[in-house]
Amino acid sequence: MYSLIRSVRRSGILVRQAYKLTSFTRCLNTTTPFPEFRDLTELRSHQDLHRFSLTDPQEFWCRLARSRLKWDKDFTTTLDSAGLQEGKIAWFLEGRLNAAENCVDRHLPTKGDQVALIWERDEPGTQEYYTYRQLADMVGQIGNLLRNSGVSKGDRVAIYLPMAPITIATMLACARIGAIHSVVFAGFSSDALASRIQDAKAETVVTADQGVRGGKVVELKRAVDDAVSRCPTVKRVFVYQRTEADVPMGKQDILLQKAMCAESSHCEPVSMESEDTLFMLYTSGSTGKPKGITHSTAGYLLYTATTFKHVFDYKDGEKFGCVADIGWITGHSYALYGPLSNGGTTLLFESTPTYPNPGRYWEMVERLQLNHIYLAPTSLRLLLKSGDSWALDYDLSSLRKLGCVGEPLNYEAWEWYYRVIGKERCDIIDTWWQTETGGICISPRPSAPKAHIEPGMPMRPFFGIDPVLIDHDGQEVTEEDANGALCIRSIWPGMARSIYGDHKRFMDTYLNPVPGMYYTGDGARRNKDGVYQITGRMDDVVNVSGHRLGTAEDGHPSVAESAVVGYPHDVKGEGVFAFVVLKDDATELEHEIAENLRLKVKEEIASFAQPDHILFTPGLPWTRSGKIMRRILRKVAANQTEDFGDVSTLANPSVVESIVERQAELQ
C-alpha cells in the first residue's frame, strides 16, 4: 500500500490527513502525459487525472509546482482558501521565486544558444532571432536601468510598446525587480492610456518612438506625450527607438537602448512571494471604467506553464506561433509566460493577417517552419473570404496543432482551418478562457490522444477546472444537453486575485454573483456528451474581433441619450450598433454628428471600438424601473424585428415602433 499525506481544511483549520492509494499492481499509466503522477497507478486516463485534480487539488498542484517551477524557497501550504469568502485566494504559501528567473535564467545552462524569440517584423522576410542568452542580457540591462532609475518592488510600470523583443525583455525586467507590469495595447488611444496610467498610479512608462503595423506608422510617442500631460504621477518615460524617427524628447524622456547599454547585464532578481502580483492587465467590463485585473506570481506562472505544455502538446524544440498582441492576455500567457517557462521558442508577430496580402500567416509558417499557430477566429473568417489559394501556395506541413481563442469559432471557419490549413491532420484547439482566468480553462485537449474533437466547441475542462451551468434562479443545471451561465466551482492557481484598487468590484463581479463559484459572465451549452460550447456574453460586453468592449455611454454635446449593443457580424464576430437620441436643440446634421461620434470613440478608446452603425432614434426603450431594454435593441440591430417578446414593462412601448421604422427607412 502507498500512502500520501495531504492537507485538508476542516472548519478553517489546515490538517494533515493520510489517505491510502491502491498498490502498484498496474503498470504506469499510458495516457496521462504528466510524469509527476506516474506513481499513482490508478490514474490511468485523462478523466481519472481530471477527477483527481478536483478531489485533491492540493496534491495535484503541489506536485506540479515542485517539478515545473524553480523555487528560491519551497512552499509549505499548497492552497489556503480560508479567506475565500472575502476573495483571498493564496497558493503556495511561504514559497519564494522569481518569474524572470523561471522564464530565462533557468534555461541558460542547457539552452543558452537556443532561440527564445522569433521577431516576425512587419515587413515579411526581415525576421530576427534572439537566443535565451541574448534575452537574459536584455532583461538584466533593462532591470538594472529601471532599478537605478528608482523603480522598486511593487511599483507599476506602464508599457505601451509594439510587438518586439524589447517588450518581452521589459516585462521580464519588471518581473525580475518585482515591479508590476501593466501593458496597454499600443492600438489604444492616448485617452485610454492616460486613464490606465492614472488608475495604476504609474510613475514609469516605457514606449517607442513609433510602431509599424501593416506598413503603416503608429505614433506611439505622440500618444504618450498627450497622455502623460494628464498624468502627474509619471516621473520617467523610456523611449525605444523602433523607427528612429525624430520625435520630440522632453525632460523626463530617456532613450531606452542608449541608457540600457550603459548597464550591466547582471541584475540580481528579487525573490518574490508566491502571491506577490506579477502583473496587471486592463479589461472591459459592463461599466465604463476598465478593470485592472491582477495576477499572482507563482499561481499564474504554474498555470500558464502547465496549460501551454498540455493544451497544445508542446514538444521541446518546437516553434510556437501565437499571433496575438502582447497588449492582450493571450500575448501575456501564450507568447511570453507559457512558452518561456517551458524553455520554448516563441513568435512575436508585429504585423497584421493581411499585410502585405492575405497569405501573410501561411507564408510566415513556411518561412519560419512554425509547428503551432494560435490565432483569433475573426482573422480566419477574414482570410477564408479571400479564397483558398493564399493558403494553398505555401507548404504548411510543419504545422502540428492549430489553436484559436477569443470568440466562438463558427463551423465554416473551423472547417476551413481543419481542411485548408491543417490538411485534415492537425487538431483544432479551440480554447476558452478570459483575462481573469489567467490561462486556458476549456479546450479539446488534453484528452485521450484520439478523442473526438467536435467542430466549434472548446469542449473539455482543463485539470483543476470544474465547470458548472447555473440557471436564472442561481441553481445548478444538472442535466446534460442544457444551457446556463458558465461558472467554475473550483479554485485554480491561475485565477485572478483582484481588480487593482477595487477588491469590492472584484468580489461583486466574479465571486458574489453565485456564492462559492467563479462567475464567468459567459453563457454556455453542455451537450449530451457532457462537453461545452460557449454561447456568448451574458452581460452588456460586446466582443469585437475577440476584443472585449464595455458598452457604457459617454457624453456628446448634441446627444441626449444613447445605447450600444453588439450584433452578429460575419467577420468580426460582433459589430457595434449605437442607438442615439439627439437633443431637441441639436443643430448639426445627423451624418456630421455620426462622424464626430466615431472620431470621439477612436480618440477615447481605439479605432476597433468605433460603431459600425449609428441609428438616430426619437427615444430608447426604457423600462418603468429605469433600465434600457437592450434585448429589443439587439433584435433591431440584428434585423430581427418580427417578435420582441414581452414589452409590457416598457414605460414607452410606442418607441419600439419608431425605432423599427427608423431602421427600415435606412435600409
**What is the rounded CA–CA span in Å between residue 633 and residue 659?**
9
Nearer to ligand PRX, 58 or 520 (CB): 520
Q: What is the largest CA-CA distance in the chain?
A: 85
Residue 283 binds to ligand PRX (criterion: CB under 6 A): yes
Pattern 381-420, ligand PRX, x by CB under 6 A: ------------------------xxxx------------
In angstroms, give the least distance from the CB of 104 to ligand PRX: 24
The 3-state DSSP class for residue 55 equals: helix
**What is the rounded CA–CA span in Å between residue 15 and residue 539?**
41
**Grid coordinates belonging to 125:** 522576410
The 3-state DSSP class for residue 254 equals: strand
Residue 486 binds to ligand PRX (criterion: CB under 6 A): no
Number of chain residues interacting with ligand PRX (CB under 6 A) = 21
Pairing, β 345-349 against β 115-120: parallel
The sign one gets for the Cα dihedral 654, 657, 661, 663 is positive
The alpha carbons of the chain give a radius of gyration, in whole angstroms, of 25
In angstroms, give the least distance from the CB of 199 to ligand PRX: 17
Pattern 527-546, ligand PRX, x by CB under 6 A: -------x--x-----x---
**Which member of 120, 155, 191, 430 binds ligand PRX (CB under 6 A)?**
430
Instruction: Tally the residues of the chain.
Output: 667
Of the candidate spans 47-55, 198-206, 211-219, 517-525, the one that interacts with ligand PRX by CB under 6 A turns out to be 517-525
Of the candidate spans 258-266, 296-304, 427-435, 444-452, the one that interacts with ligand PRX by CB under 6 A turns out to be 427-435
**What is the rounded CA–CA span in Å between residue 222 and residue 239?**
11
Nearer to ligand PRX, 52 or 282 (CB): 282
Nearer to ligand PRX, 179 or 405 (CB): 405
Residue 435 binds to ligand PRX (criterion: CB under 6 A): yes
Name every residue whose Cβ is closer than 8 Å to that of residue 338 and which is 6 or more positions away in sequence. 304, 305, 307, 308, 309, 344, 439
Of the candidate spans 106-114, 389-397, 514-522, 618-626, the one that interacts with ligand PRX by CB under 6 A turns out to be 514-522
Residue with smallest beta-carbon separation from ligand PRX: 435
Structural element, H or E, at residue 425: none
In angstroms, give the least distance from the CB of 231 to ligand PRX: 24
**What is the rounded CA–CA span in Å between residue 140 and residue 105?**
10
**Which member of 204, 277, 306, 431 binds ligand PRX (CB under 6 A)?**
431
Cβ neighbours around 317 below 10 Å, total:
12
Residue 458 binds to ligand PRX (criterion: CB under 6 A): yes
**Which member of 195, 434, 562, 663 binds ligand PRX (CB under 6 A)?**
434
In angstroms, give the least distance from the CB of 574 to ligand PRX: 10
Q: How far is CA 646 from CA 617, 630, 651, 655, in A?
A: 21, 13, 13, 14
Q: In this structure, which amino acid lies at residue 431?
A: T
Nearest of 445, 284, 317 to residue 374 by alpha carbon: 445
Burial (CB < 10 A; 0-12, 13-18, 19+), residue 481, is exposed
Of the candidate spans 70-78, 190-198, 244-252, 516-524, the one that interacts with ligand PRX by CB under 6 A turns out to be 516-524
In angstroms, give the least distance from the CB of 329 to ligand PRX: 5
Residue 318 binds to ligand PRX (criterion: CB under 6 A): no
Pattern 322-341, ligand PRX, x by CB under 6 A: -------xx-----------
**Which member of 160, 240, 433, 579 binds ligand PRX (CB under 6 A)?**
433
Nearer to ligand PRX, 147 or 547 (CB): 547
Pairing, β 442-443 against β 272-273: unpaired
Nearer to ligand PRX, 78 or 304 (CB): 304
Nearest of 298, 285, 160, 163 to residue 231 by alpha carbon: 160
DSSP 188: B
Binding site for ligand PRX (CB under 6 A): 283, 329-330, 405-408, 430-435, 458, 520-522, 534, 537, 543, 548
